[in-house]
Amino acid sequence: MKEEKLRELLDSLSMTEKIGQLIQVPGNMLNADGQELGVRDELGIGDELLRNVGSTLNVVGADQVRRVQEEYLRRSSAKIPLLFMADIIYGFRTVWPIPLALGCSFEPSLLRRLCAATAQESTAGGVHVTFSPMGDLVRDARWGRCLESTGEDPNRNAAYVKACVEGFQEGLAEEGAGKGIASCVKHFAAYGAPEGGRDYNTVDMSERRLRQDYLPAYRAGVEAGCEMVMTSFNTVDGVPATGNRWLMQDVLRKEWGFTGVLITDYAAIAELVTHGVAKDQKEAARLAMEAGVDIDMCTGCYANHLEALIREGALTQEQLDAAVWRVLSLKNRLGLFEDPFRGADAAAENRLYQNESFLALAREAAAKCSVLLENKGELLPLREAGEAEGTQAKGERIALIGPFADRKEALGMWAIHGDRKGVVTIREAFAETPGLDFCWTEGCETLLPEDYTDLPVLAERGERVCWSEEKRKEEWARALEIAENADVAVVALGEDEIQGGEGGSRTKLTLPGDQLRLLREVRKRVSRLIVVLFAGRPLELREVKELADALLLVWYPGTEGGRAIRDMLFGKSEPEGRLSMSLPESVGQLPLYYNAFSTGRPYDGKTANRFFSRYTDCPNAPLYPFGYGLSYHSAAYGPTHLDGRILKRGGTVTVWAEVTNTGSRDGVETVQLYLRDVTGSVVRPVKELADVRKVFLKAGETRRVEFAVTEEMLRFYGRDLQYRSEPGLFRAAIGADSSVVPDAEFELED
């Protein structure tokens, strides 16, 4: 529709119809098969308004979307098509590895390809907007939503968010193409830093830290052209984001120039009352509107109070019109006025689902995201039965043990539209492999009541099945028996899916249930032991590290997880991932991140003197650092060189090192450049990842790997909160992970 026509449409709307555009209701209120009055009554939205709401969430599937849209258009007076939004976080029907795993790929272009594929599936499924990507930086593994973040590094997160927005929105700008879906960057801002790692808890930090570490990823999404931004639940400097004018108006809209739609997180306007910054929902509606929030997700605040606020003069008609205009413009860019059923096509949905290219992409992603933490004696890769030399000669028997050996739910909490039936487990992948001799059993459950406070209630409600004592004993005995008779054990352990995701905060990060005990027993019975670890966050792995010969962290690897794991175990592909979050030695170290400030008393890790910044019962260092991961090749790094000592503004300094594949297999090495700003007007981190290069090296090959350092890469928020570099001494290091110490010196000159 031409802009002029759209203006005419806006002008023709009644107040109720306008306000309707700013309201999002859950799908069950719009169900074409009958409305669920319960939810509707709770929100208190009147009939006329309900017939004209602007959007809904998590109604997906071509047939369903068509039915709801048809019914909606029949009943609505304004006849403006409904916008369908959904949480399509890491894949729609085809599920990819979780974002924390995707962060381990160190390959933004992979995320772009995955999101473009997701957009194709989602478009066919009738979805217009996805609530993804999440740009929240994470440093505290107790927070369950670490699984939805790409990790602890601001620069990497920014690159990933940009890639996701570009992937989702590919083709969106082409008029009439009906391609791509609108991307909503969330949760603005700093939702990933709740105190104590407890979800929805207070976030409080300096503006410097906010700008330096937490905002860059959201900003990258805005600069990549995301159509939507979601406010977060938390406070930012004492004011909940949803009512935070400074954040939404001054930073997001004015400083960054965001012109798209701003939506709240679920019920966040009403929570302004619970937070205690609004006395009632009316005041909450006013605060949110003043902050520039366009869409109220699932409360009655806008529905029930905007009209009165405008009539009383507390808000203006212009404010209302501006918000409605942004929503209408999005609908227009999506082409909904021409085709309200945009792309919803059941046949295409079926065709795309489980198509070979998506499945291949899912396997590729799982291998690129899996992190090989240990490989003692080069146990992996196993050789397939029948191969001449190798660890699994013909007739060797594998014991596949553990609650994740055959677990279709191993997708993580936010794969809410993913097809669980289509997930290939390790057991299934083994079973379809000719000549693979294995037996399997679970051995134990993932969880016991002491690991999850609500477990007994869930069991009582029939939402969880807990094993009987008899089944426990049987499984345990069988696991030990098959371990006893095996040549090699593959033990698939992990964190239960319900322990992570939204509301999934934990204070203990050890393996839940009887899993560690099971591992100890299996260890006593086999000579070679591989642990395949499923998790949605960093776990405490000290004992697992010691017990396992090989330790492969696959996170929640997605639809093709089982096949990808089999391929990695047998060397058909290699685990390429490098940690996107530090793995702690102990939960007591949290928050833990590699790019911490230098303290006045840095500890060398050795000296017996307590008056340093250290723990007296635990090292400062993580068990495995950010950026770490092994592969089936090995690599040696030469010293870091610089081609000059002086960097001038506008110029570059080349930093390089020779990297050799010292192994007997070809492989991809993730070469990392870390920089340190030695003295600044404010304290600078001990190192920062400045750039990454994934380099393919043939066995025995040496390559000179170069990075160009520019002045822009050295900028930060100085004492006056201005973003710029400061002349002086810098140090660089090229290495395989964040444990390298920058020592090659150069100077930035004015």
Strand, coil or helix: what is 626?
Answer: coil
The least CB distance from residue 110 to ligand NOJ, in Å, is 22
The least CB distance from residue 133 to ligand NOJ, in Å, is 11
The least CB distance from residue 147 to ligand NOJ, in Å, is 12
3-state secondary structure 102-122: HHCCCCHHHHHHHHHHHHHHH
Other beta carbons less than 10 A from residue 433's beta carbon: 16
Give the distance, in angstroms, between the CA of residue 183 and the centroid of all CA atoms in the same chain. 14
Strand, coil or helix: what is 182?
Answer: strand
Backbone φ, ψ for residue 492 (5° rounding): -100, 105
First to last CA, the chain: 52
Toward ligand NOJ, which CB reaches closer, 299 or 589? 299
Q: Could you list the residues that contact ligand NOJ (CB under 6 A)?
A: 57, 87, 131, 186, 265-266, 502
Q: Rounded CA gap, 577 and 696, in Å?
A: 14
Token digits of residue 282: 């009316």
In Å, how far are 315, 641, 653, 732 from 708, measured between CA atoms? 52, 12, 6, 11
Quick one: DSSP state of residue 444?
S
Toward ligand NOJ, which CB reaches closer, 536 or 561? 536
The amino acid occupying position 23 is I
The amino acid occupying position 214 is Y
Residue 339 known to be catalytic: no
The least CB distance from residue 232 to ligand NOJ, in Å, is 8
Q: Rounded CA gap, 489 and 494, in Å?
A: 16
The least CB distance from residue 131 to ligand NOJ, in Å, is 4
The least CB distance from residue 267 to ligand NOJ, in Å, is 8
DSSP secondary structure of 627-645: T--B-SS-EEE---EES-S
The least CB distance from residue 98 to ligand NOJ, in Å, is 14
Query: Considering 265, 294, 296, 451, which one is annotated as catalytic?
Result: 265
The amino acid occupying position 186 is K
Token digits of residue 50: 């309900």
Check if the beta carbon of residue 497 is closer than 8 Å to that of residue 400.
Answer: no
Q: In what order do the strands lie in the sheet with 688-697?
A: 646-648, 744-749, 728-735, 667-677, 688-697
Quick one: DSSP state of residue 371?
E
Other beta carbons less than 10 A from residue 56's beta carbon: 25
The least CB distance from residue 186 to ligand NOJ, in Å, is 6
The least CB distance from residue 734 to ligand NOJ, in Å, is 37
Toward ligand NOJ, which CB reaches closer, 103 or 561? 103
Check if the beta carbon of residue 165 is closer than 8 Å to that of residue 182.
Answer: no
From the list 550, 178, 603, 117, the residue with the least C-alpha distance to 360 is 117
Toward ligand NOJ, which CB reaches closer, 24 or 446? 24
Token digits of residue 30: 């719009």
Q: Name the residue number minimizing CB distance to ligand NOJ.
A: 131
Q: Rounded CA gap, 209 and 418, in Å?
A: 36
Q: 318: Cβ–Cβ under 8 A, 6 or more apart, which residues?
A: none
Kindly report whether the peptide bond that precedes residue 133 is cis, defined as omega within 30 degrees of 0: yes
Catalytic residues: 265
